[in-house]
Amino acid sequence: MPDHAPTTPGTAVRRHDIVIVGGGLVGASLAIALDGLGLDVAMVEAAPAGALPAVFDQRNLSFAEATCNALDNLGVWRLLRTPAAPIRRIHVSRRGDFGRVELDARDYDREAFGQVVVASDFGEALESRLGELRKLVRYRPARFLESGVDGEQRIIRIADGEGEHVLSTRLLIGADGTHSMVRAALGIPAEHHDYDKVLFVARMRCDRAPDGNAYERLGDDGPTALLPRGDRHYGVVHAVSAADADAVAALDDDAWCARIQDAFGWRAGRFLSAGPRSRYPAQRVLAERLVAQRGVVIGNAAQTIHPIGAQGFNLGLRDALTLVECIAASPGDVGAGEVLQRHAQRRVEDRSRTIAFSDGLARLAANPSPLLRPLRTFGMGAIAQLDAVQSMLVGGAMGYRGDVPALCRQVRA
Ligand SMILES: Cc1cc2nc3c(=O)[nH]c(=O)nc-3n(C[C@H](O)[C@H](O)[C@H](O)COP(=O)(O)OP(=O)(O)OC[C@H]3O[C@@H](n4cnc5c(N)ncnc54)[C@H](O)[C@@H]3O)c2cc1C
């Protein structure tokens, strides 16, 4: 990575206060949250205008209460065209074990722990809200190539259909996902772990409509989760070992329904039909640091975690909102070292606890050893008994961990 400006003499340089790379779930949310600070913000996104980035697919996103509050305050919630489905109860069980955890939002004086939204619907709402921003400059389709430092500026090279362009900014924000090129350009190493599982996601219909229950069923091959959707379907996430993934992908719909019935049991009813399946590798990629000189990574670029805990975007949004608060609190140089260090410090607790929660759940769910079965059963039973542990689960499910950004706490009207 060159530590100098990667420019060629005579190239026109476009200046912005902040350049965000990545207009996915977190980058788009960040751009919206930055609006109103009076800054010149640019967003570089590989997907073309008129098409949502591929990440806005059919996956179901469970939004914690803190996330719903923030999205409402950001003016995104009102733009969702399909109603979100509330999660009123969470039910965790393990195949073959008697212990289980049942959490009811009413026991915590809440109507719901969170809401389920389909990623493509969320993408459309974000896009509508981005369209309302007056000042945001969008480079799309355009790809980030590399970056170096020149005095108090980051110099960035991007490429679009017309060729290469050079941008100059006080702060480069990498919201470019798991395989972040910004992270690499900032010289931030990342730790990679492959859970050796593949997650299949599909919309499924049962003979009973969803009634506010979200289920997590732990099996020897990994978890199967059912999330209520706003269209009378469940969103199913089913983990299989990587070695079995191709065979599962090849199943016809009847065989797939039978497989989910077997993995999940009958608690939600009989599975009748399924929509198209998509597949994702289960992996964990953790940036060793969040900040570098005039650069920061957020969202999946900072930490990609196992989807089992449904925490990835919830956590990434809190990255984005914390960064905005740190920038807003220090008028002047938005990319100054103190601003970035303050952000990094504020993210420590939430980040480490959420990563540990998701990773612990993934490992507990994935370990097939029969020797661990009594321990897991005991674990489930014990969790069901312990108020403190339940509170921790609930706090995480609602998104209130560590130093919570103000927009997450401001309750919706
Ligand atoms: C099956 C599944 C279920 C999930 N369920 C949940 C859930 O219930 N709740 C939850 O909170 N999270 C969930 N997640 C996690 C969530 O999807 C991620 O945390 C979220 O997508 C991260 O957003 P991001 O913006 O950081 O990255 P991404 O969404 O990956 O966006 C990155 C963006 O950067 C762009 N980009 C990449 N490289 C470049 C480049 N060089 N130049 C320009 N642009 C670039 C891409 O086009 C993309 O638009 C789930 C994930 C999976 C796989």
Domain segments of the chain as ranges: 13-82+116-192+284-366+401-409
Q: Which residues line ligand 1 (CB under 6 A)?
A: 21-27, 44-47, 53, 55, 59, 61-62, 143-144, 175-177, 181, 199, 201, 237, 280, 299-301, 307, 310-314, 316
**Rounded Cα distance, 241 and 234, in Å:** 22
345, pLDDT greater than 50:
yes
The mean of the pLDDT values for the chain is 89
Residue 300 alpha carbon to ligand 1 centre in Å: 6
CATH superfamily membership of 13-82+116-192+284-366+401-409: FAD/NAD(P)-binding domain (3.50.50.60)
Higher-confidence position of 364 and 259:
259
Which among 351, 331, 327 has a CA at the least distance from the CA of 341?
A: 327
139, 45 contact by CB (below 8 A): yes
- pLDDT, position 152: 95
pLDDT at 390: 61
How many alpha carbons fall within 13 Å on the CB side of residue 141?
A: 9
pLDDT bucket at 388, cuts 50 / 70 / 90: low
Task: Render 9-68 in DSSP notation, one character per residue.
Answer: TT--EEEEEEEEE--SHHHHHHHHHHTTS---EEEE-SSPTTS--TTSSS-EEEEEHHHH
Average pLDDT estimate for 380-391:
51
**Comparing 187-191, 214-218, 286-290, which segment has the lowest mean pLDDT?**
214-218
pTM: predicted TM-score of the whole model, two decimal places: 0.92
Q: Strands 137-139 and 41-44, how do they pair?
A: parallel
Alpha-carbon gap, residue 277 to 258, rounded angstroms: 15
Q: Give the integer Cα–Cα distance in Å for 378 and 362.
A: 17
What are the helix (H) ranges across 135-239? 181-185
Residue 381 has pLDDT above 90, yes or no: no
Residues 285, 198: Cα–Cα separation, whole Å: 16
Q: How far apart are CA 327 and CA 305, in angstroms?
A: 26
Tokens of 269: 């009813």
State yes or no: cis peptide before 2, omega within 30 of 0: no
pLDDT given at position 398? 80
Q: Which of 313, 323, 361 has most ligand 1 atoms within 8 Å of CB, for mutation?
A: 313
What does the pLDDT read at residue 360? 79
Per-residue pLDDT averaged across 230-246, rounded?
93
Which of 7-21, 109-123, 225-239, 346-360 bottoms out in mean pLDDT, i.e. has the lowest?
Answer: 7-21
Q: How far is CA 192 from CA 204, 281, 314, 317, in A?
A: 32, 12, 21, 22
Question: CA angle 315-39-48, nearest 5°?
Answer: 65
Phi, psi for 192 (deg, rounded to 5): -110, 135
Q: From the alpha carbon of 313, which atom of ligand 1 is closest?
A: 11
| 24 CA distance to ligand 1 middle (Å) | 6
Share of the chain above pLDDT 90, in %: 71
Whether the pLDDT of residue 79 is over 80: the answer is yes
Residue 37 CA to residue 327 CA, distance in Å, equals: 9
Q: What is the mean pLDDT of residues 159-165?
A: 93
Quote the pLDDT of residue 365: 63
Which residue's CA is the nearest one to ligand 1's atom 14? 312
Question: Average pLDDT for residues 343-372, to the nearest whole number?
Answer: 79
> pLDDT of 142-161, one tens digit each?
999 999 999 999 999 999 98
> CA 68: distance to chain centroid?
13
84 DSSP 8-state letter: P
| Residue 94, token pair as written in the block | 């393990």
Percent of the residues in the chain that have a pLDDT greater than 70, as a whole number: 88
177 C-alpha to center of ligand 1: Å? 6
The average pLDDT across 259-280 equals: 94
